[in-house]
Amino acid sequence: MKFLLLAAAVLPLASALTIPEKRITTPANDALSVPPSGLGSAEDASALTVPEKRITTPANDPFYVPPSGFESAKPGSVLRERRVVASFFGLIPAPIEAHQLLYRTTAIDGSPIATVTTIFKPLFAKRDRFISFNTAYDSSSTTCNPSYQYRLGSLQTDLISSLEFLVIQAYLLSGYTVASPDYEGPDAAFTPGRLSGMGVLDGIRAVVNYGPKIGLNKNPMVVNTGYSGGAIASGWAASLHPTYAPDINLKGVLAGGTPANLTEVLLYVDGTVVAGFLPGALAGQLMPSAYGARLKPLLDKILAPGGKEALALGTSQCAPVNILAFAGKSVFDPNFQTLGKDLLNDKDLMWVFNQSTMGLNKNETPTVPVMMYHSPDDEVIPFSGADSLRKRWCDYGANVRFVNYAAGGHITGEVIAVIDALKFTADAFSGSVPGGCASRTVLDDKLNPLALGLSLEPVLAGLINILLTLGKKDTNWINGLSQGKYM
């Protein structure tokens, strides 16, 4: 099934990425040989070959190490830069210009840290706007960082990132430059929302600061989007934007399949076939840039051998491996930890989980239009948490468009929403999103491949193939997990 997804995603794009917005000069009238597909130099063109060896992982790549004295730099300052070759699945070069920036951001305790954002620039990119796309890497291992997974020569262990790279193509083919930050920070802290929110906002600042080098105007508009784990990042970026980064010219936010309440998510998936998200989530809270100083004494005391093994896997493997390894298991089992259900009565753990619950504080209400979307039969993230967040934000005066994709599951919900997401993005940039709050239900799970024009038809066709592979409401995926198969 993994091969089917790969073929469905990549083959349509082989033609899609060759459809320019305008015709190039014919060879008879062009004295200069141009590298293919808009890459900037002959060096770039020669780089577009199947890699002979794997690239260095983030843990061993000096690019990720901030220079001495970076602590005095402002949040969003660019510390390093480099050109890279983007790819599908680490093997197939993507014919787009790609840059990476190491930038300064902020840990939970306020101390300076550094992380990376990856910028993808299409042919004929719009100069006054860009997209901050928060990939759902859903892991506490730096090997799963988008900055690594999206590069040619990476060891592809995270099919989630590979699927989302297809969604990124839809934005690129719409003319948007796209930046995807490693918003979990230098130690890949999965689920601490405030850390992710600051990582996103400072990543946007870094792109703005670097913008003139890639053709962006000064103070460009930005729309921030994320699904599932990526919605932790986009939701918290929207929440912290008014106080942490009001300088950013944010025009809209999209948050789909939103894990608004971590306690609710834990109880919802524990013991199910998708319980494997939990070890990585708990490990993320224990990271130094997150809440390690507060939680490590507790976990060191109560973790049983099975819990130690699960958390170790959560910090060394990407989501697919973790999901299969912990499927059907429970964090309340005595082989995981010794407190049982009393774990949820621990004041330090509950304080930390409340810190990552969206919508509790009125002063953290988004001030730009938000599109939230969710499927009521989502098998990973409970619909009720997202719906409660919608109500709280609306009570606080936010502008929220909430879409209920009744025919979707967790993964299919992201795919079904692509057309609406792109339309909302365009409206947010133009300032035409209606005020106030509104909700609607979409009953159909079909995608019209021509809904967004001919240039995006191959991408939508690829997404349609993914829908067929996953099955209605993710049934094929869930059944596969039950049989020990991810995809």
Among all residues, which ones are annotated catalytic?
228, 378, 410
If phi > 0 it is left, if psi is from -120 to 50 it is alpha, else beta; for residue 328 that is left
Query: What is the chain's Cα-based Rg?
Result: 21
**DSSP 8-state symbol, 245:** -
Give the Cα separation of 11 and 260 in Å (integer).
Answer: 35
Instruction: Give 3-state DSSP helix, strand, coil % of the chain, rounded to 5.
Output: 45, 15, 40
Tell me the two tokens of residue 349: 């753990």
Phi and psi torsions of 88, nearest 5°: -90, 125
Sequence-ordered list of residues with C-beta below 8 angstroms from that of 148, at least 6 positions apart, any chain:
55, 57, 58, 142, 154
Give the Cα separation of 425 and 82 in Å (integer).
Answer: 28
> 74 near 112, Cβ under 8 Å?
no
In this structure, the number of other CB atoms found within 10 A of the CB of residue 301 comes to: 10
Using the Cα atoms of residue 383, residue 314, residue 328 and residue 7 in order, give the sign of their dihedral: positive
Q: Could you give the angle at which helices 418-430 and 457-470 cross, rounded to 10 degrees?
A: 140
Sequence-ordered list of residues with C-beta below 8 angstroms from that of 27, at least 6 positions apart, any chain:
none
Our CA dihedral for 302, 308, 314, 320, rounded to 10 degrees, sits at -110
